[in-house]
């Protein structure tokens, strides 16, 4: 096993719903914004372009807030949002350290916009635990689009290296397998090393 590609939300970072789909806790109490309105006005309409790097987050968030909550500072809301989704699975970090010590490269492969990607790497310190991050806003494609997998494949070691993709979304796992990678559907309580051993015994797709 040469390369492991690890999802973030629902795998390495827990405690919230999948990024971009959740209703931010305490949003109405702290900011006076009904959660479902922000979901409808921002996440459902603006998020697809933000998470694939076509639009910057803060100007777009500011535009929406100007219409639905003009007294709310976009940067304050962003800080609240990022802090909510910041619970790292320390046990999984330990498993990653063992894998890397054995010579396996571990990368994050995730749907993120630029602010959250930097927050994950720098503020949460994940940069010190992995070999790098592939994320949708930088690649111009998001999982499960084939373009995401193609963009990652182009920057990985030469063809022939084993790749195992780990994600909590069945849709993303199915797409990875169709692309030709081994893939693990991650469920809370799994042990990474055990799942990788099982994956090794499964023939590569295609």
pLDDT tens per residue across span 146-184: 999 999 999 886 554 689 999 999 999 999 999 999 999
* pLDDT on residue 158: 59
CA dist 50 and 81 (Å) reads 15
Where helices occur in 35-163 by DSSP H, the ranges are 35-38, 47-51, 57-68, 74-84, 90-101, 114-118, 136-139, 146-155
Q: Which domains does the chain have, with CATH numbers?
A: 3-16+86-200 (3.40.50.1000), 27-84 (no CATH)
How many C-beta atoms surround the C-beta of residue 201 within 10 A? 7
Q: Quick one: how far is CA 161 from the chain centroid?
A: 23
Nearest to 172 by CA among 115, 131, 111: 111
* pLDDT on residue 61: 97
Query: In the predicted model, is pLDDT for residue 77 greater than 70?
Result: yes
pLDDT (average), residues 28-54: 93
Which residues pair with residue 14 across a beta bridge? 87
* pLDDT on residue 111: 96
Q: What percent of the chain shows pLDDT beyond 90? A: 74
Cis status of the peptide bond prior to 144, with omega within 30 of 0: yes
Q: Residue 83: which pLDDT band, with cuts at 50, 70 and 90?
A: confident
Nearest to 25 by CA among 88, 83, 110: 83
CA dist 83 and 50 (Å) reads 19
CA dist 136 and 121 (Å) reads 15
Query: In the predicted model, is pLDDT for residue 80 greater than 80?
Result: yes
How many C-beta atoms surround the C-beta of residue 149 within 10 A? 25
Asked whether the beta carbons of 74 and 67 are under 8 A apart, the reply is: no
Asked whether the beta carbons of 150 and 176 are under 8 A apart, the reply is: no
CA dist 122 and 157 (Å) reads 25
């Amino acid at each position: 096993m040469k390369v492991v590609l690890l999802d973030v939300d629902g795998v390495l970072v827990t405690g919230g719903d999948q990024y971009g789909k959740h209703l931010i806790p305490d949003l109405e109490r702290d900011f006076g914004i009904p959660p479902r309105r922000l979901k409808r006005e921002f996440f459902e309409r603006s998020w697809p372009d933000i998470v694939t790097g076509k639009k910057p987050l803060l100007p777009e968030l500011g535009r929406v807030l100007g219409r639905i909550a003009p007294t709310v500072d976009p940067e304050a809301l962003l800080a609240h949002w990022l802090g909510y989704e910041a619970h790292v699975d320390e046990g999984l970090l330990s498993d990653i350290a063992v894998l890397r010590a054995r010579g396996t490269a571990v990368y994050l492969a995730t749907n993120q916009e630029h602010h959250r990607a930097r927050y994950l790497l720098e503020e949460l310190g994940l940069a010190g635990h992995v070999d790098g991050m592939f994320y949708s806003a930088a690649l111009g494609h998001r999982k499960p689009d084939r373009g995401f997998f193609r963009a990652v494949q182009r920057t990985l070691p030469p063809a022939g290296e084993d790749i195992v993709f780990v994600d909590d979304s069945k849709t993303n796992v199915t797409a990875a397998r169709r692309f030709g990678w081994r893939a693990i559907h991650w469920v809370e309580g799994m042990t990474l090393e055990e799942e990788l051993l099982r994956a090794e015994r499964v023939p590569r797709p295609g």
